[in-house]
Amino acid sequence: MIHALKIGEIVYKNNLFVAPLAGYTDFAFRKLCYQFGAGLCFTEMVSSKGLVYGSEKTEELLHLDETETVTATQIFGSDPYIMRQACESAALQKFRHIDINMGCPVPKLYKNGEGSALLNNFPLAEKIIKECKKSGKVITVKFRVGLEEDKLLATEFAKLCEGAGADSITIHGRVRSNGHTGKVDYKQIASAKKAVQIPVIANGGIQNRQDALKTLQETGADGIMVARGAMENPHICSEILYDSPPTAWKKKESILQQLSDMQKFYSDKFIIVQMRKMIAFYSKGMPNSSIYRKQLFSCNSIVELEKCITQIFTV
């Protein structure tokens, strides 16, 4: 069920994708996921207005490691013409694949008519996709199965995306009101899959290999996208790809490498804040993890952070 997947003109080595995660999927984290076998990773989502009008923060989010050759990016916005300009911007010149966020449940975006708010406005969503397609890039769309439990629309929205020219769609199996919790609606994803010819990627609730295989079986999707499961365990990619992963996750070694990679691009201040929250996820469920987190969040230098990593992770 894991296989190469063609989206638009691009063939990915496998159909296991890692989602764009705000505040987490920087280049050093993506590098880990690729090392563990991910077929495609995304940058954090970026603002179309930030791309068009210029933003130093936006440029930081788009930084690629020299080893990244297939990474995609995700943009958000509600103005079709600004979205197209973003796709054609110099900042996105290095990206062949651009995903449009039409599923983010965050209130700030929703109130601005962005993210999942576009599920309320089919004509606008359609116009955005059509404009972005004019850029000549591979354009995909990520959305949720609906806004509320009594307002499910995955099939109708999937047809809209295909009709507007989207090269594939990713469907998060929860409604907006449920955020990142609650039951994943496999039936909605399966219905959408049957209604379109473009590839469908299933997303939501994948924490291990069993979840991944169940998602593929229940939905008939062409691929899967892991999100929060990868934040706690980027090695999930290898665990999904192989019944018996060829290598174990050597946490200390990997995390120190991640830290070293980040030092090539980011300031010490950013690295300390970023790695403290990442390590808090990596150590979740470990014995004495609450004690470790207390030590971790008292680190105020790279040296202290390295020492803390060595103390927390023995291998």
Instruction: Give me the half-sphere count of Cα atoms (radius 13 Å) on the Cβ side of residue 166.
Output: 29
Q: In the structure encoding, which two tokens stand for residue 261, read together?
A: 């990679």
Nearest to 211 by CA among 231, 239, 192, 188: 239
Nearest to 235 by CA among 211, 272, 208, 201: 208
* Cα–Cα distance, 159 to 163 (Å, whole number): 6
* Cα–Cα distance, 273 to 138 (Å, whole number): 34
104 is catalytic: yes
Instruction: For residue 151, give Cα distances in angstroms to 120, 126, 160, 258.
Output: 10, 19, 16, 42
- Among the listed residues 41, 87, 104, 237, the single catalytic one is 104
Contacts of 73 by beta carbon, 8 Å cutoff, 6+ apart: 20, 42, 43, 46, 62, 92, 95, 97, 98, 99
Catalytic residues: 104
